[in-house]
Amino acid sequence: VGQDWLWFGRLTKTDAELQALLSDADTQFFTLTKDGRDEALLELKFTADGTCELAYFGLTPALIGSGAGRYLMNHAIRSAWARPISRFHLHTCTLDSPQALSFYVRSGFTPFKRQVEVADDPRLIDLLDKDAGAHVPTIG
Ligand SMILES: CC(C)(COP(=O)(O)OP(=O)(O)OC[C@H]1O[C@@H](n2cnc3c(N)ncnc32)[C@H](O)[C@@H]1OP(=O)(O)O)[C@@H](O)C(=O)NCCC(=O)NCCS
């Protein structure tokens, strides 16, 4: 899901750290399956202060533009508010799909903060293939 958008946060984790994430009772994971393959990722992270973060949300090219994103977002909203939370939030970034921000606004989210984050290009530190996210120039 994240290769084209240069997602790398989980690629720095060890198998044990990933297993701990998958076993966390306060985190829910969902996918959508097409032709027997998982083609989407939804991760909801609940915290003790009554918030839920839409931690990961995305479709592979096999599902983008098919209506699957709206279906999965409706599931996310229902699942988040099924618990006694008072806030449902997410982070998106300029490297994500250009459709993401308007999609989230149509889903009911309100932009409230913008910030600059600096990280190494994951293609230059061998976390992702050199040809990942080909629409984003590499500064070598
Ligand atoms: C962000 C993302 C989920 C948006 O999904 P998308 O399909 O690209 O979004 P679009 O805006 O093109 O299409 C969604 C809209 O078209 C509708 N649609 C498109 N094709 C459709 C079809 N064949 N049948 C029914 N509805 C369809 C959807 O219902 C939806 O309408 P609505 O938002 O008005 O309810 C998707 O682009 C994605 O996963 N991108 C990669 C990962 C990413 O950037 N994630 C965000 C990280 S924060």
What pLDDT is recorded for position 91?
97
Tokens of 85: 């939370």
Provide block-wise average pLDDT over 10 residues at a time, the chain (140 residues): 95 97 97 98 97 98 97 98 98 96 98 96 96 92
Q: Quick one: pLDDT at residue 139?
A: 84
Atom of ligand 1 lying closest to residue 106 CA: 33
Expressed in angstroms and rounded, the spacing between residue 67 Cα and the centre of ligand 1 is 6
Q: What structural domains does the chain harbor?
A: 3-106 (3.40.630.30)
Task: Write the residue with the smallest CA distance to atom 7 of ligand 1.
Answer: 65
- Provide residues with CB under 6 Å of ligand 1: 5, 57-59, 64-67, 69-70, 92, 96-97, 99-100, 103, 106
Give the N- to C-terminal CA distance of the chain in Å, as an integer: 25
Tokens, residue 45: 């992270």
Taking the CA atoms of 56, 104, 100 and 103 in sequence, report the sign of the dihedral they define. Answer: positive
